[in-house]
Every structure is written in C-alpha cells, then in structure tokens.
Structure 1
Amino acid sequence: MASLDPPQMNAAATTTTTVTNGKRVFSQSRRANKKQKSKRERNMKEGSSDEVLLLDIRALIKSRQENQKEAEGDASSPSLPEPGSEIDVEVLDLSSTGDGLAVHPGSPPNHVYVVPFVAPGDVARVRVFRHLPADNYSVADYLSIVTPSPLRDDSRIRCPYFASCSGCQFQMLDYPEQLRHKRRIVEKAFRNFSQLPPEIVPAIGDTIGSPLQYGYRTKLTPHFDGPPGAGGRRGAKADKTRPAFTSVPNVGFNQKGRRLVLDIEDCPIGTDAVRLGMKRERNRMQTEFANYKTGATILLRETTKRYSKDGEEPPPTETETPDHAVRVETDQYVDIKTCVTDNKATTSEHIDSYLFTNPAGSFFQNNNSILSPFTAYIRQHILPPPSPSSSSSPKEIKHLIDAYSGSGLFTITLSGLFHSSTGIDIAADSIAYARKNAALNRIPDSECSFMAADAPQLFRHVTTHPDETVVVIDPPRKGCDASFLRQLLRFGPRRVVYVSCNVHTQARDVGVLVRGEVGRDEGGFGEEEQKGEENGNENQDGENAKRKSTRYAIESIRGFDFFPQTGHVEGVAVLNRVDEP
C-alpha cells in the first residue's frame, strides 16, 4: 500500500532530502556529471506508475496549450519556487495514479504540480518537494485545503490518518465519483498503451463498484522498521551485535512520500476480523518489541469457518463466539471470521457456494465482498452471445483453459459451463491447492484438472480444439510476457477473457492480440523467455496450422473496483478471434 514520490529523471541537477521529525529537509546536490538511466527509465515500458503519471501530465499540458493557446513558457522566467516553499495551487485533474495535477500562477504556464489527497477544483496549500524541469512537473506535499472543490466533502473521511498515510487517496470523494474516475483510468490506459486506433476500441463500460466501500480488505500487512543501526526492515539478519529496541516502534504503514512508518492504530478499510487482528498484534508488540533486532512485516489475513444452519455441526451461539472472532449470520449460514498471522497457515474463503483454501501469505483477491458479482460477470461473459442459427454457425465452445490459474478461482467457478476446465500455472504449490480446492467443492477430475508448466511451454500439453476453447488469463501486474502471447496467438483460441490488476499492461497486451503479432521491443518482454517457446504447442490440427495469423477483436472492456478509496482498478477485457479467409 505504500507509495513513494517519483524519482527524478533527466534533471540537470538532483535534490537530496532527509526526514527529520516527519518533515523533509531539502538540500541541492552537485550537478550530475554523468547521465545514468534510473529505475524509472528502465521500467518505462512496464506500465509503471511513473510512466502513467508522465503521460497524464503531458496530456494535461497539451490540452492547456490547445485550449488556452499558452506558450510553453521559459523555465527561468517565471522561475520555479525553491524546494521547501509553500504555495497555493489549483487542481485541474486527477491522474491515473490517484494524485492531483495542479498549476500555480507564479510558475511557468505549462508546469504541473503533482499533489496527493486532492480533488479537481480544489485550491490547496502545498510544500514544494522536488522539481523535474525536463518533464515539466514538480512533486509537492499536501498541507491543507484553501478552497474546497464541489467534489470534495471531508465529512466522508473515516480515517484520522488520511492525508498522511499512503494507503488511500479518495476518501473525500463521493463513491460514484470514484467509479467515474476509475472508468477514465481504463479509457486512458487503452488510449496510451494499446497502440490501437480509437475506433476499434469499444466504449469502456461503467466501473462495477464494490458492495463494501469500507471494511472490505481481507488482508493487511502493517510493518515496523528496526532500531537505529539495524539495517532497515528487509534483508537484514539479526545478530547479537545489533541494537535492540528501547521502546515500542511505530507499527503501521508508510507516510505518503516517505520511508517513514506511521503508528496506525486502526485501518477502516480492513474487515472487522482483520482490524481485531491488528489490535491484537499491536498489543503483542507492547510486550515483545525487545525481542526484535530488525524490522518486520506483520501478516493480517481473514479466514472464515462456515456453519450451515441445516448442517450436522451446529454453529456457535453469540455467547460462544470467541472475543477475537467476528460472527456473521445470514439466512443459510453462520460465518465465524478470525485473523491469521502465520504465513504458512491455511485460510478459508467462501464465494457463494464455493470454498477456497490458500496459504495465508499467498495471493488471493483481498476484497471478498466483490468476488460474487465479479465471478458472476466472468461467468456471464465467458461464452459468446448466441448467434443466429445457420449452416455456418461456429462450433460450440466446450473447453476452458485458465492460464495463470493460481489456486483455481476461475477454473473452479466456471467448470460447470464446460465439458472440461484446465488450470495451468508455473507455481506447483498453487496447483496443489487448486486440486485440493476442486476436491473440496466436489468437482471430479474429469471436469476440472490442473497442471504445473514452465512459462515458455504453458500450452504444450493443451489438446483441445482452438475453435472449441476459451482462454482466461489473469497475469501479475507486469502483464503477459512475449513468450506467453506468442503461444496464445499460435494456439488461437476462439475467445479470450483477460483479467488484470494493472489496466495499463492489460491494454498493452490486448493491443498485441488485436494486431496479431508480438514485437521484440514490446514493454515488459524478455528475450530469454523465448527459449523453448517453439515447443510451446505442437498439437494444433491441420486447419489451425494453415491459418496464416491469428488476431482478435475487442468485444467489451470494463473495470471493477476491488479497492475503494484508492486509485486502483481491476480490468476485464473480452476478445473474439477474427476468422478471415
């Protein structure tokens, strides 16, 4: 959840800072003699927040130039305020990163200030932190609101740490406005990253909201830094020579823009069980802090024990429910929810009538409240709409391939629609849990199977006919690599449903599928991943082998709000293979 200000790129000189009592202390370093690529520059093709922010800034500057016919401005007249200066800025827009984009009348006309915790129309008091003149923007710290925007209502804010903690950006916004902004994020992602003509990208659907806007996160990971001289939180090994804590450290999340942990007592976006776990872990630290020689991250993960009211095992009564548990009762069930802190412990999660188990420290969607409408949407769109009956009607889709299947979320919840459903993942541990989850949900192996496969050969053992197959892909934030996309295009399934937690890399990959070819310079792709790729799929039949190329058309694109109050949005894109003579 923590985020840091964008690193400097292409600036003539650098600005260094230290943090003292929670405030940034500014000093100018000597002019750099040798230009080196920053991490930001190396990752600019991966849909990083730095790349996304810079594209939004350029779009705003271009719009101001076109609409107001402003000159580009001279960086020396007027000059930029000194780092550490306090100025008032007018917020014009929200970027896809969740930060506001603002202007200052005393700065060059096409210079933008990046400010957190603001809404379009706000006039905000900020403290200038860092200038990036080559990119026409500066990073600033939010201080206060001088004149609130009509979109802003601070009475909506439920967290006393908002505007300090780096976790949330939008608590002051009405929820429908948050959803509208997230639709715009998806629109901009496909405009900026797909490299497709706008006329072949369908209108983006309205973002589907979360049933819960607070109390939804089933996993939180607060942390604390080690004592001075202990080498930080990560990567340091404890030994007898390291200093111990002399007092309880701050336990919480990073302050916005700083590597400084805020002492956070409660987080209102966590579920009730997770918030109880956070309170319990903070109490534990009161007595055990001296045992730590380094910092650590604390896992807080909800797990649910479900009792059917018609089942053989009676549910506990309200008085029998432990103090550390949360009891949730519906017409059919009684759920007892507790918080797990052991990474290796097994947690249970229910989605409608399905049960999923996972190691507590592994990945699984962190908003259970939206998983029912989310999986229902995928179920409604996994098959193509009925076509008019004719002699040339396409074959029935009978098979599902779930790439990046993890512990089987889609393979299992969609299995009832197909003759066969196959989940494929490179992680053997995830495949083991997927098989266990299929058995827990009483799905026979003949209908739902799983296999572990190396990334360059994910489709090697797929034996289904492409015309009868739909593929679901749900990759990590970096998106799909070149090897996978080449395998997918070579196999050529009739339909693809692409789910992503990063709509920018999703747009990039969808563009590849629509064009039908993978360039060597596509962002996020490594040449080493092509090794062994030629063996990726050797079972295509004669009809498919004759197809000169495979490309796709986009049927629909829509966002899902898995993380209310933040700038994150999940994307679902549905694609159909284009069959040409």
Structure 2
Amino acid sequence: MATGSSEEVLAVDVQNLIESLNQADDGGAETAGNEAEDSMTENLPEEGSEVDLDVVELASTGEGLALYKGSKRVYIVPFAVPGDTVKAKIYRHLRDENYTVADFISVVTPSPERDDSRVQCKYFAACSGCQFQMLDYAHQLRLKKRIVEKAFRHFSQLPPELVPAIQDTIGSPLQYGYRTKLTPHFDGPPGGRRGNNKQPFGSRPPIGFMLKGKRSTLDIEDCPIGTDAVRLGMKRERARMAVEYGKYTRGATILLRESTKRVPKKTTTTAAEDNSSSLSQPPSERETAAKDSSPPPAAEEDDVVRVETDEYTDLKTCVTDNNGTSTEYVGPYVFHNPAGSFFQNNNSILPVFTDYIRQHILPPSPSSSSSPDITTTTTSPSPPPQIKYLIDAYSGSGLFTITLSSLFPGGSVGIDISDASITYASRNAASNSLLSSSPSPNSLSPDGGVRFLAADANALFTGPEVLGRYPPDETAVVLDPPRKGCDAGFLRQLLAFAPRRVVYVSCNVHTQARDVGVLVRGETAGSGLQEDDGAEEKGGDDAGGKKKEEKEKKKKKTRYAIESIRGFDFFPQTGHVEGVAVLNRVDE
C-alpha cells in the first residue's frame, strides 16, 4: 500500500479472488501465473457488448467482482452484490491488470440480499455516490466489518496472531439525511476546454454529481443522504442557477454546508429575530448576517430548518460561501469552521464516535484487564504512571483535542500544518471555555488547558515543543491523518518519541492498516512508504556513518501491540468505513 488509492485496493482484491478460484480447482501456486496469462489471451467479449455476469464477491471499494461463463477473468461491475446475476456493458479490458471494467445495466437474477424497494434515490445505479441502497442496513455494517478485516489482512504485513478480531462496525443513527456537506458541481459550456472559450451557457447546465464510470455530470434535483438544510440549499442553488447561468463561462463546484444556531428553550425567538441577533455569533457570521439582511424575513424563514428538543431549538441553515463560517454541535461542545474546510460530514454519529474515543484514549482500568478483547502489554510489577497529557496530531479545528481535554490534567495540545485550522481551533477552545491560560498561543508548557500549534507534523516529536515537556510514559497520542495516511518520517518520529498509548483514527482503513503494521513492527522498512532522506540524520564520512550505526544499535526499539480495531459507519449506503485502532506501547 503506497498511496491508499482505490486502484491499489481493487488490484489486491482481484488478485486474491483469482488465487482463491485457482485453489478451488486444485491448481495451486504453480498454475496461478498460467491462469492469469490465459485470461489475458482468451477470447474476451467485445468492448461495448452486453453480457450477463455472476457476482461472486464484493470488493473493498464497493464494486461487485463478477465472472463470465465460467472464465476466471474478473469483471468489475458497480451496484451489484454477491449472488446477483446482472446485465452489464463491457467498457474496457485492462489486460495488464487482469480484469475488465463493465457498466451496470440491470439485474437479471437478484441476490437474496438485494431488495430494490429499499432504494430511496431515483439516481441510484447512475450517480457515483452510493453503492449499497438495495441492502439491509445490518448487512451493510457486516460488509464494512469485512472491509476492515481485509484491510488488515492484506496491508498490515502482520501475522494473524498480532491482529485481534475486528469488532462489529458501529452504525450511524441516521442512514439517510445525515450528510452535513455536499458539493455538487456543473461543467463548463461546450467547447470550453478547446481554446479560450468565453461564451456563457445558453441554458442551465446539469448540476449534480459524476455519472458512475463517466466524465460527465448527472443532473440531480435532490440527494436524500443530505440533511434537510443541505437539501433546501441544493434546491435554492439550482433555482439561482436557473436564473444566473448566463453569468458563467466555466464550470464550478457549489458548496452546501449545514450550519446550526442553537437557542435555549427559555430564550427561543423566531428565526427572523434570531438571525438578526449578533451577540452569540462569531465575527464572520455577524458580517455574513449583515450582508444578507436584505431578503424579507419570510424568505429567511423558508430557508431555516427548526429542530426541537426539550432543552433547545436548533435553527439549521445552509452556507454556500467557502469563506463563510459554519457552526456544529457535538454533544455539549460547539465547533466553528471555515465552511469550505474539512470537518466530519455526519453529525449524527459524532457524539457516539467521540464518546468511543474518550472511552479508549486512556488504558483500561485494572478491573477490566481480563476482558477478552484487551491485550495487556505492561509486564512491570509496579503500576505505570498516570497518563496526564494528550497530543492530537493532524488536529484540524480541534475535534479530539477539545472533546478529550477533560481527561488530561496535564494539558492537551493540537498540532496542524494549517494556520487557518489552528486559528479556528483556538477559537473553538475559547468558545468551549477550554483555552489554555498560557500567555503565548504557541507555548506548549503543560498547565492543564488546551492549546494549539501550527507546525509540520513531520517535525513534531523531535522538536523542543514536545521533547522534555511531555513525558512519553504519561502521554497519549491521537492521530487522524488524511486518506494517504502517515508518511515514513512521521512514523519514525512517533516511534522515537514512544508515547504510551496511541489511538489511530482514519477515513482509509487500508493506509491505516499499513501504518499500524509499522507501529507494531517498530520499523518503517518494507512498509511500502516512501522514505524521506531528510527525515533522518545523515552520516557524512565513514567515521560519522559508523557512529550513527553504533548509535542506532544502542537505541531501544519501540513497538506497539494492538488492543482493538473497530469500524464506524460515517457514510451509510456507501462502501466507505472509518477505522479506529487502539495501540499500547510494548514494555519489555
């Protein structure tokens, strides 16, 4: 696993299916290469022809893996599940990759797991967004557990005995109406890519998402996985484009981001009155409210979704300005973010998710050490010191730093490379009355508060901001890197710092499995990660090189044991799954 791309994952799934078919025929390893060669030279259906395919397995990317007329060549067909026989149109034979890509046309014979009456979107099987709407939700969760299992089996490079049983996937409270952010788009006018076309649209262009397997946009009026506020925003933006399409000479992406205004019941006002109030709004929201004060109150009221609880009223609107500010509540915590920036897109599961991280960021109590899914790694007869400090790498706007802060009496620090994220993270800490009392915003001296630092994560654990200030035996680290995962330099520094406990959160369980394998082995060699020559000290002459070698031999090797692995379903109806791996340092 190098980049964590769907192509890498798909290639491994295809190869494993071919090998299993060969083993079923008692071909063994000797004939595996021959079978692959035969499938490259056999007479394949013509590209563009329609064929019936039997779906035998589901890829970790959400597509069906199918066979044609007893051939062992694998066909990739979307919107299909094991047990289906589907009619598909051959799109392209990828001879070097040893599989064929096909477009879904229709179901010939449905799988027992398929029930198309469950589908709630008329664009399903054309839009590239969802894959699983025909499946019962409990079955979706089982499939996602299997995706996590396959990720660690194929990409961690660990023997099975070092990987605990994958726990059941935690489902989303909402299976539809959960996405707080959608980004539909429209393509430029015809001919816009040839030369310098400045001609505007002659009519409203299709606005929506990509057709599966195509480079064209499917016009989508409504997306049922979006929240009510986001769906209202989509309707409003489509109406605007129906009038303003003539102003555009190129394509664009439309931001639809939910924002929440929470009003306690005892002071609940009308939506129009609330929108005019600026006391509890951040500056950017006050400015936006002032700019948008021209529409009549009735129009504003139409764009507000009211959600009532016993304690408060949530007034939900849709932000379309990338530079605007969105506000979300996660349990008792409030978070302000640049509307166009990253923040988890399923608010309904966030309280469950952050509570799970709270329960697992610290070691289990001695009374629970006998639990079968807990691996005890401390062999010292004396109890280990209390974990007092939290380091949140890739902290973004502070989701984990803030929601975990009360567990760490020594202090919590969030680090992110983005200055804008750190600015908002500090503001969020202040909004939740958690900001450190340190006079310097970049000071990391622990005082029990929350602070944030803009820094490159690859230069974090070896710098003076951490070394000497955070004792590794008393520090837990939470990681939530981008889809590509961590790089070799970061993992080497983490191993050198050797925090007592690590919780690794990831939106890509395949790169997560690779990185967790590095931490369990205690080395990056052989992981497939690109090495950064500048990340390690270089030995100049022979004498310097020998000194470095001797120093490396004396250095104690740090490695970790996996306590638990579990998936969270942030994106129901799709093949995506979020992974959480809990690791303990092995003390020997």
TM-score range relative to shorter protein: 0.7 to 0.9
CA distance in structure 2 between the partners assigned to 1:138 and 1:513 by the alignment = 36
| 1:561 match | 569
Which range is displaced more, 49-58 or 62-71? 62-71
Any residues of structure 2 matched to 1:70-109 within 5 Å, and which? 72=35, 74-75=38-39, 78-105=42-69, 109=71
Q: Which amino acid aligns with 2:453?
A: M
CA RMSD of aligned residues (A): 2.2
Given that 2:429 and 2:450 are in contact with CA atoms closer than 8 Å, whether structure 1 keeps it comes out as yes
Any residues of structure 2 matched to 1:369-518 within 5 Å, and which? 369-387=348-366, 392-419=382-409, 420-445=411-436, 446=447, 447-459=449-461, 460=463, 461-462=465-466, 463-518=469-524
Q: Which amino acid aligns with 2:579?
A: G
CA distance in structure 1 between the partners assigned to 2:534 and 2:106 by the alignment = 49
SS in structure 1 opposite 2:335?
strand
Any residues of structure 2 matched to 1:48-447 within 5 Å, and which? 48-69=5-26, 72=35, 74-75=38-39, 78-105=42-69, 109-231=71-193, 242-310=198-266, 312=267, 314=269, 316=271, 322-387=301-366, 392-419=382-409, 420-445=411-436, 446=447, 447=449
Q: CA deviation at 1:391?
A: 5.7
Q: CA deviation at 1:76?
A: 7.4
CA distance in structure 1 between the partners assigned to 2:358 and 2:523 by the alignment = 28
Given that 2:392 and 2:400 are in contact with CA atoms closer than 8 Å, whether structure 1 keeps it comes out as yes
Q: CA deviation at 1:547?
A: 5.7
Q: CA deviation at 1:65?
A: 1.4
Per-residue CA shift, 1:178-235, capped at 9, x if unaligned? 1000001000101111100011100000000000000000000000000012129xxx
SS in structure 2 opposite 1:369?
coil
Q: CA deviation at 1:524?
A: 4.4
TM-score, length basis structure 2: 0.84
Given that 1:328 and 1:335 are in contact with CA atoms closer than 8 Å, whether structure 2 keeps it comes out as yes
Q: What 5-or-longer segments of structure 1 have no aligned partner?
A: 1-43, 535-544
CA distance in structure 1 between the partners assigned to 2:531 and 2:524 by the alignment = 12
Q: Percent identity between the aligned chains? A: 65
Q: Which amino acid aligns with 1:260?
A: S
Q: Which amino acid aligns with 1:416?
A: S
Given that 1:482 and 1:529 are in contact with CA atoms closer than 8 Å, whether structure 2 keeps it comes out as no
Cα pair distance change 1:195/1:475, threshold 3 Å:
same
CA distance in structure 2 between the partners assigned to 1:195 and 1:361 by the alignment = 37
Given that 1:468 and 1:493 are in contact with CA atoms closer than 8 Å, whether structure 2 keeps it comes out as yes
Q: 2:530 aligns with which of 486, 511, 525?
A: 525
SS in structure 1 opposite 2:348?
helix
Is the aligned partner of 1:575 residue 2:531? no
Cα pair distance change 1:77/1:443, threshold 3 Å:
closer
Given that 1:229 and 1:243 are in contact with CA atoms closer than 8 Å, whether structure 2 keeps it comes out as no
Per-residue CA shift, 1:469-509, capped at 9, x if unaligned? 00000000000011111110010000000000000000000
Q: CA deviation at 1:257?
A: 0.3
* More helix per residue: 2
Q: CA deviation at 1:532?
A: 8.1
Q: CA deviation at 1:426?
A: 1.1
Q: CA deviation at 1:523?
A: 3.2
Per-residue CA shift, 1:116-168, capped at 9, x if unaligned? 00111000000111112233210000000000000000000000000000000
Q: Which amino acid aligns with 2:60?
A: S
SS in structure 1 opposite 2:138?
helix
Q: Using CA pairs under 8 Å that are at least 6 residues apart, name the structure with larger relative contact order, 1 or 2.
A: 2
Per-residue CA shift, 1:338-360, capped at 9, x if unaligned? 00000000110001110000000
Q: Which amino acid aligns with 2:230?
A: V
Q: CA deviation at 1:531?
A: 6.8
Per-residue CA shift, 1:354-386, capped at 9, x if unaligned? 000000000000000000000000000011011
CA distance in structure 1 between the partners assigned to 2:187 and 2:100 by the alignment = 29
SS in structure 2 opposite 1:273?
helix
SS in structure 2 opposite 1:525?
coil
Q: What 5-or-longer segments of structure 2 have no aligned partner?
A: 274-296, 370-379, 437-446, 540-552
Q: CA deviation at 1:46?
A: 1.4
Given that 1:478 and 1:524 are in contact with CA atoms closer than 8 Å, whether structure 2 keeps it comes out as no
CA distance in structure 1 between the partners assigned to 2:559 and 2:265 by the alignment = 51
CA distance in structure 1 between the partners assigned to 2:537 and 2:310 by the alignment = 53
SS in structure 1 opposite 2:173?
coil
SS in structure 1 opposite 2:263?
strand
Cα pair distance change 1:533/1:392, threshold 3 Å:
farther
| 1:552 match | 560
Which range is displaced more, 409-418 or 456-465? 456-465
Q: CA deviation at 1:522?
A: 3.7
Q: CA deviation at 1:331?
A: 1.0
Given that 2:477 and 2:501 are in contact with CA atoms closer than 8 Å, whether structure 1 keeps it comes out as yes
CA distance in structure 2 between the partners assigned to 1:63 and 1:308 by the alignment = 59
Cα pair distance change 1:225/1:526, threshold 3 Å:
farther
SS in structure 2 opposite 1:368?
coil
SS in structure 1 opposite 2:113?
coil
Q: Which amino acid aligns with 1:118?
A: A
Given that 1:215 and 1:268 are in contact with CA atoms closer than 8 Å, whether structure 2 keeps it comes out as yes
Q: CA deviation at 1:449?
A: 1.0
Q: CA deviation at 1:314?
A: 3.9
CA distance in structure 2 between the partners assigned to 1:77 and 1:548 by the alignment = 53
CA distance in structure 2 between the partners assigned to 1:92 and 1:204 by the alignment = 23
Given that 1:208 and 1:559 are in contact with CA atoms closer than 8 Å, whether structure 2 keeps it comes out as yes
Q: Which amino acid aligns with 1:62?
A: E
Q: CA deviation at 1:47?
A: 1.9
Q: CA deviation at 1:78?
A: 4.9
Q: CA deviation at 1:86?
A: 0.6
Per-residue CA shift, 1:314-345, capped at 9, x if unaligned? 46599988101100001111000000000000
